[in-house]
């Protein structure tokens, strides 16, 4: 995990490319990129918990949804300004997630994944029927206040948010805490046997993950302007998040971002040829091939390519 010159080069090139993008592409592509940026934020959030500690969360759309619904309800039903509703939404996501999902962190392996999946499904069923006067039922909540006007401004906001989240996660994972979270993913008993409280470590990872998910969910809701239960508490949202991490490269920061962009653009590229649901088969097959070729994702393919190029030069 040592920093190497090509890491800096990759990051600088990536940030420059992102910021210059509106000069080269149209509004349609920018809107696709905005979605990719938000998906990348959700993927980074998932990776902080699941990619590091190995606790596979199937409940992340639940966390994203809490953030989105909280800010939507506060702004539309109670007239809160966005500046106040977003921080509250993040806080509610962390506290709500902690109450509902934290007990599940004491469960291991596939049981943890199943409990989190059940929580998400429960939300999908409950949100439309419990207090529909607040949640808007199956139709959701529309006409949310927008944070920006126009695709270009929306793009800059999404990119800056994604880069800020990535920088935050990168700095955190470079600390000893990041090493300890990695170690949990490899052998939790040994971490405990080294004198560290793994419950505390996992809880912290979960809180950070919920913070990022809530933040992304709240901003995304205001970008969309309309939210519905299906747009958040849905198994497809979950798969998009997980596949973005896996094909990009779990346990890295750039990996989930690359995975999110790759996936979103692949689907968009396939749309003219396969306008129906069948494009998901093609996308699934490509994702599977990448995963079979290199289980550590595109990041590992790039890394090994870089090593080969350096080796050839020397």
Partner 1 sequence: MTNALEIRNLVKRFGGLTATNNLSFDLSQGESLGLIGPNGAGKTTVFSQIMGELRQTSGTITFQGQEISALSTPERIARGISRTYQVPRPFAELSVRENIRVGLMPDSLRSMIFGVVDHARETEIAQSVGFVPADLDRPASELAMGDLRKLEFARTLATGARVLLLDEVFAGLTTGEIGMIAELIQDLRGRGFTFLMVSHDLPAMEPLIDRAIAIERGTLLAQGSFKDVLANADVRASYLGEA
The whole-angstrom separation of Cα 92 and Cα 146 is 21
Residue 20, Cβ neighbours under 10 Å: how many? 10
Shortest Å distance, C-beta 309 to partner 1: 22
Nearer to partner 1 by C-beta: 27 or 179? Answer: 179
Provide the minimum distance between the beta carbon of 207 and partner 1 in the complex, in angstroms, as a whole number.
10
Rounded CA-CA distance 74/90 in Å is: 12
- Give the residue with the Cβ less far from partner 1, 204 or 280: 204
Distance CA 288, CA 124 (A): 28
Q: Give me the residues that bind partner 1 (CB under 8 A), please.
A: 1, 172, 175-177, 179-180, 182-183, 186-187, 189-197, 200-201, 204
**How far is the C-alpha of 309 from the C-alpha of 160, rounded, in Å?**
32
Please identify, using beta-carbon distances, which residue of 110 and 190 lies nearer to partner 1. Answer: 190
Nearest CB to partner 1, comparing residues 125 and 179: 179
Give the DSSP letter of residue 16: H
Which CB atom, from 201 or from 238, has the smaller least distance to partner 1?
201
Residues paired with 141 in a beta bridge? 227
- Residue environment code for 286-295, b if the CB has 16+ CB neighbours within 10 A, otherwise e: ebeebeeebe
Length of the chain in terms of residues written: 314
Contact in structure between 245 and 47 (CB atoms under 8 Å): yes
For residue 249, the minimal CB distance to partner 1 (Å) is: 14
Min CB(14)–partner 1 separation in Å:
25
Residue 264 half-sphere exposure toward CB, CA atoms < 13 A:
22
Local structure of 17: helix, strand or coil: helix
Nearer to partner 1, 179 or 236 (CB): 179
> Who's near 220: CB < 8 A, 6+ residues apart?
38, 41, 64, 68
**Minimum distance from residue 40 beta carbon to partner 1 (Å):** 24
Least spacing, CB of residue 177 vs partner 1, in Å: 4
Task: For residue 165, report the phi and psi dihedrals to the nearest 5 degrees.
Answer: -65, -40
Q: How far is the CB of 286 from partner 1 (least distance, A)?
A: 27
- To the nearest whole angstrom, how small is the minimum distance from the Cβ of residue 182 to partner 1? 7
Q: Of 17 and 171, which has the nearer Cβ to partner 1?
A: 171
Q: Which is nearer to partner 1, 193 or 311 (CB)?
A: 193
Of 126, 18, 20, whose CA–CA distance to 65 is shortest?
126
Among 243, 241, 192, 199, which residue's Cα sits nearest to residue 216?
241
């Amino acid at each position: 995990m040592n920093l190497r010159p090509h890491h800096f080069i990759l990051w600088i090139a990536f940030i420059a490319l992102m910021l210059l993008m509106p000069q080269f592409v149209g509004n349609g592509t920018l809107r696709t990129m905005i979605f990719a940026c938000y998906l990348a934020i959700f993927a980074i959030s998932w990776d902080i918990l699941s990619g590091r500690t190995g606790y596979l969360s199937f409940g992340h759309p639940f966390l994203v949804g809490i953030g989105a619904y909280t800010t939507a309800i506060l702004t539309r039903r109670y007239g809160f300004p966005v500046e106040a509703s977003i921080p509250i939404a993040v806080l509610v996501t962390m506290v709500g997630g902690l109450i509902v999902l934290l007990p599940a962190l004491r469960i291991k392996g596939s049981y943890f994944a199943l409990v989190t999946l059940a929580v998400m499904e429960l939300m999908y069923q409950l949100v439309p029927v419990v207090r529909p006067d607040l949640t808007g039922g199956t139709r959701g909540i529309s006409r949310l206040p927008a944070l920006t006007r126009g695709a270009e401004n929306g793009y800059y906001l999404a990119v800056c948010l994604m880069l800020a989240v990535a920088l935050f996660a990168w700095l955190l994972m470079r600390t000893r805490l990041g090493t300890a979270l990695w170690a949990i993913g490899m052998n939790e008993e040994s971490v405990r046997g080294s004198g560290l409280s793994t419950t505390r470590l996992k809880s912290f990872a979960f809180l950070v993950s919920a913070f990022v998910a809530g933040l992304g969910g709240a901003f995304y809701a205001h970008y969309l302007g309309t939210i519905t239960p299906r747009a958040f508490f849905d198994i497809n949202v979950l798969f998009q998040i997980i596949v973005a991490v896996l094909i990009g490269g779990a346990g890295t920061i750039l990996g989930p971002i690359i995975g999110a962009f790759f996936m979103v653009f692949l689907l968009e590229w396939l749309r003219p040829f396969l306008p129906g649901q069948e494009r998901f088969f093609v996308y699934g097959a490509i994702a599977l091939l990448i995963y079979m070729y290199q289980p550590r994702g595109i990041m590992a393919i790039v890394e090994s390519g870089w090593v080969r190029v350096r080796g050839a030069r020397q």
